[in-house]
C-alpha cells in the first residue's frame, strides 16, 4: 500500500533546525559563501540552530577548524549557533584542543553519563 504526498509545499515544523551539508575540501572563497548561507538561514528563523553535516569534509585538519570557527562566529552574530552532525572520529578532539566547543548530534552532553553505562563494582570496594 502506498500513500500519495499531499499537493503543495511540505509541512515544515517551526522547531526543525536549518541544515547545511558541508563537502570538502573547502576553499577560502567558499568559506565566505557558507558563512552567508548560515546567516541567511538564521535570519527570521524561529529556531536558532544550523545543523552542519560535516561527514563530507574528510579528515579533520586546521582548514576544517577554521571553517567551523567562522561558521560558529557568523551564527553567534546572527543570534544562533552551530550543531555538528556526523563528525569524523578525530574532529571533536581537535576542536577541543584548539578551545572550540560545538554541540554534537547523537552524543551525550558532557555532564551526563551515556545511557546504558553502569559503574563497575570492584571486589575490594566496601559495601555502602
Rg, C-alpha atoms of the chain: 19
Q: Is the pLDDT of residue 108 over 70?
A: no
> How is the chain split into domains, by residue range?
18-104
Can you say whether residue 80 is alpha, beta or left, with left for phi > 0 and alpha for psi between -120 and 50 degrees? Answer: beta
Domain 18-104 CATH assignment equals 3.30.1330.40: no
Helix ranges (DSSP H) in 1-128? 28-42, 62-77, 91-97
In this prediction, residue 120 has a pLDDT band, given cuts at 50, 70 and 90, of low
**pLDDT computed for residue 125 by the predictor:** 66
**pLDDT computed for residue 9 by the predictor:** 47
Q: Is the pLDDT of residue 6 over 70?
A: no
User: pLDDT tens digits for 33-75?
Assistant: 999 999 998 987 777 899 999 999 988 888 899 999 999 999 9
Amino acid at each position: 500500500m502506498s500513500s500519495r504526498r499531499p499537493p503543495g509545499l511540505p509541512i515544515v515544523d517551526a522547531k526543525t533546525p536549518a541544515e547545511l551539508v558541508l563537502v570538502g575540501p573547502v576553499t577560502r572563497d567558499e568559506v565566505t559563501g557558507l558563512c552567508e548561507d548560515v546567516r541567511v538561514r538564521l535570519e527570521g528563523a524561529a529556531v536558532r540552530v544550523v545543523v552542519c553535516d560535516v561527514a563530507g569534509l574528510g579528515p579533520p585538519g586546521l582548514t576544517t577548524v577554521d571553517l567551523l570557527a567562522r561558521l560558529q562566529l557568523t551564527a553567534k552574530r546572527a543570534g544562533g549557533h552551530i550543531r555538528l552532525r556526523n563528525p569524523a572520529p578525530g574532529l571533536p578532539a581537535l576542536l577541543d584542543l584548539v578551545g572550540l566547543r560545538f554541540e554534537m548530534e547523537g552524543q551525550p552532553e558532557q555532564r551526563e553519563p551515556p545511557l546504558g553505562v553502569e559503574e563497575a563494582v570492584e571486589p575490594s570496594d566496601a559495601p555502602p
